Chain A
Amino acid sequence: MVLVVALVAASEIVRGAGGRVARGKRPQDARGGISRDSRHKRSHTGAKRAHYRKKRKFELGRQAANTKIGAKRIHVIRVRGGNTKFRALRLDSGNFSWGTQSVTRKARIIRVVYNASNNELVRTNTLVKGAIVEIDAVPLRQWFESHYAVPLGRKKTETAEIAKEGSNHVQRKVQARRKDSAVEQALADQFAAGRVYARLASRPGQSGRADGYILEGRELDFYLRKLRSRKA
């Protein structure tokens, strides 16, 4: 009896592992299907292992999500044990953290800029964990300016001290915070451009979210250098 895992059927035609066209998103077709076993691999000594049993359901693998940037589209999948996974097919925003300031804000994802594993994923703007993306800088900048009452990434001409309303007590608090409000130059430049580089820390095909953290410090230097050398 062929076990068929009931999934939300995709309306698009999905290409199977061998380039075959497969309707819907079945993890295992009668003949093909992705399995995660090691019985098909050669052993440590190099011996070819005998094929003595069929593929089992607990060894199944599913098609990759290949999450793109666009209006949110997430499919819910029932997995082993009755649990659910959220396969994000298209995402447009995520929750991004600013580590040194310990704040997290929801921001729009603009595009994928670098992927250590595969340049193809950069070209096709595919969201995966560990991808370096450009996000909209506005939400974090708004938080910064309201928290410290110091302009961040504004052009010299339009710099006006952001007047912090509030009681005397509030203003004194804000003034006291100012001494911690130093932001490194590379990061400030990004805020000025309105686009900040961030790294995805969640797995969109598993959790359905594209969350991450903005690049700072040595990590930022590392990736800026990589981007510059690619452009050159």
Chain B
Amino acid sequence: MAEQTEKAFQFQLGNFHAKKKPVRWFNEVGLGFKTPKEAIQGTYIDKKCPFTSASVSIRGRILTGVVVSTKMKRTIIIRREYLHYIKKYNRFEKRHKNLAAHLSPAFIGVQAGDVVTVGQCRPLSKTVRFNVLKVQKKVVKGAKSFAKF
């Protein structure tokens, strides 16, 4: 019952819950992305998770970026850096764009600085059109370093 945090009963759409033990529904997202174990074994309900919700499909662009902030509920901001060429000076300048992506509860412990792969899906909110598919933890130089708990 830990996942019923909202005022309305949370359930997976299309999955009848009253028949004995509810069987969790999950799917493969495709394009070679592995469904995280937490999505299969967990109990969370998220209608925007690409692994446990049939209404969200991943199609279109697949992008990567660095996580900037995780302060929102189930969504994160990603920063994507790129170089823009100025023809007159034959040089580049650094530019960046921020992107809001939905972070499924299947990914636990995502922090600022992690590298993340996101896939395009249908609009999930005013600014969110991407869904996190894969998280690579930040590589910390130096074997023994204290990370903030």
Contacts and interface: CB of A to CB of B under 8 A. Distances in A.
A217 B17 contact: yes
Interface string A113-148: 000110000000000001000000000000000000
Interface in A179-222: 216-219, 222
Contacts, number: 32
Contacts of B11: 219
B126 A219 contact: no
Interface in A98-114: 99-100
A222 B100 contact: no
B126 A218 contact: no
A116 B7 contact: yes
Contact of B127 (A44, A99, A100, A130): A44
A62 interface: no
Contact of A38 (B1, B16, B126): B126
A38 B125 CA distance: 12
Given A44-B100, A44-B127, A222-B4, A100 B17 contact: no
B4 A100 contact: no
B146 interface: no
A217 B127 contact: no
User: In which size bucket is the chain A interface?
Assistant: 10 to 19
Nearest to B99: A44
State the majority secondary structure of interface residues on A. Answer: loop
Main SS class of interface, B = loop
Nearest to B18: A217
B123 to A, nearest CB: 10
Interface in B7-44: 7-9, 11, 16-19, 22
A99 B9 contact: no
A219 B127 contact: no
A100 B19 contact: yes
A217 B16 CA distance: 10
B6 interface: yes
Contacts of A41: 126
A223 interface: yes
B19 A130 contact: no
A61 to B, nearest CB: 16
A219 B7 contact: no
Nearest to B10: A222
Nearest to B11: A219
Contacts of A216: 18
Contacts of A222: 4, 9
Contacts of B22: 218
A130 B8 contact: yes
A117 B1 CA distance: 20
A216 B16 CA distance: 10
B6 A219 contact: no
Contacts of B18: 99-100, 216-219
Contact of B9 (A38, A44, A117, A223): A223
18 contacts: A41-B126, A44-B126, A44-B127, A99-B16, A99-B18, A99-B19, A100-B19, A116-B6, A116-B7, A116-B8, A117-B7, A130-B8, A216-B18, A219-B9, A219-B11, A219-B18, A222-B9, A223-B9
Interface of B: 1, 4, 6-9, 11, 16-19, 22, 100, 126-127
Interface of A: 38, 41, 44, 99-100, 116-117, 130, 216-219, 222-223, 226
Given A41-B126, A44-B100, A219-B11, 13 more contacts: A38-B126, A44-B127, A100-B19, A116-B6, A116-B7, A117-B7, A117-B8, A130-B8, A216-B18, A217-B17, A217-B18, A218-B9, A222-B9
